[in-house]
Amino acid sequence: MGRLEGKSIIITGAGSGIGRAASLMFTKEGARLIAVDKTDAVDETVKMVREAGGTAEALKGDAGNEQDVAGFVGKAVSAYGKLDVIWANAGISGGWVPLHDQTVEQWQEILRVNLIGPFLAIKHASRQMMNQGHGGSIICTASVAGLKANAGGNPYSASKAGVVSLVQTSSYSLTGTGVRVNAICPGLIETGMTRNTFERARERGTENKIGQINPTQRGGKPHEIAAMGLFLASDEASYVNGQAVPVDGGLTASMPFAGKLRS
């Protein structure tokens, strides 16, 4: 029996990066998956899952659109008879635009996808889970940028700080329902969103400096975030609720410092 055997699960942003890694890991552990992304890459993810012997269906849609999110939930129920877990993972970065060059439209789009998207996932998934009467797990992708400055642009960081607050407040809004709501705060992970950073470092021969300011002294991999999601999705995390868990090599464990710390 896998750790997620028989569970019906939705993962958004499943076309690449953390979402794809989680799709492969979760289905290997017995999950039945609805993989969601706005791009055709989600079809490749589902193909990979099926080739590995897993169960998955692809669905294209916008994680920040309420009609689409309600559709994701409905699809999981129609395909698998229930919904046990949703991971609201889809997000956009917005880049590093100087403060005075940022526009209201940029802020609105980043907040729509990164913050309203998780809200919609919580709203619609929790209602379904409550109707089923046996609870469930909701996971949101936040970021270390939502905990500390200088890990992302202003609108991105604000959106991820909002996700942290959202899971805290939502866990209390759902008191007594058996529905748990948690966030994962990745550090610097090599995904499509950060690919340029990693590629530029490789071109300059400075790849070994990526992640040098965290005590693990490296960047992270998508499967390392997926592994935390696997725990939160599983029954092993039954007493974990309302938390924002950093998975960042230790980056947020320290105040800023210059030079090498001595023991």
Where along the chain do its domains lie?
Answer: 8-189+221-241
What one-character DSSP code corresponds to residue 104?
A: H
The confidence score (pLDDT) of residue 190 equals: 74
What one-character DSSP code corresponds to residue 220?
A: B
Catalytic site includes residue 172: no
**Whether the Cβ atoms of residue 148 and residue 160 lie closer than 8 Å to each other:** no
Place of tokens 């400055």: 149
The confidence score (pLDDT) of residue 218 equals: 87
The amino acid present at 156, given as its one-letter code, is Y
The confidence score (pLDDT) of residue 151 equals: 86
**Quick one: how far is CA 132 from the chain centroid?**
24
**Would you state the structure tokens that stand for residue 117, as one six-digit string?**
């998207």
Q: What's the pLDDT tens digit per position in 150-180?
A: 889 999 999 999 999 999 999 999 999 999 9
Tell whether the model's pLDDT for residue 93 goes beyond 80: yes
Cα distance between residue 224 and residue 216, in whole Å? 13
Q: Which of 80, 156, 172, 239 is catalytic?
A: 156
- The CATH number of 8-189+221-241 is which of 3.40.50.150, 3.40.50.10140, 3.40.50.170, 3.40.50.720? 3.40.50.720
- pTM, whole model, 2 decimals? 0.93
Cα distance between residue 35 and residue 32, in whole Å? 10
Cα distance between residue 128 and residue 130, in whole Å? 5
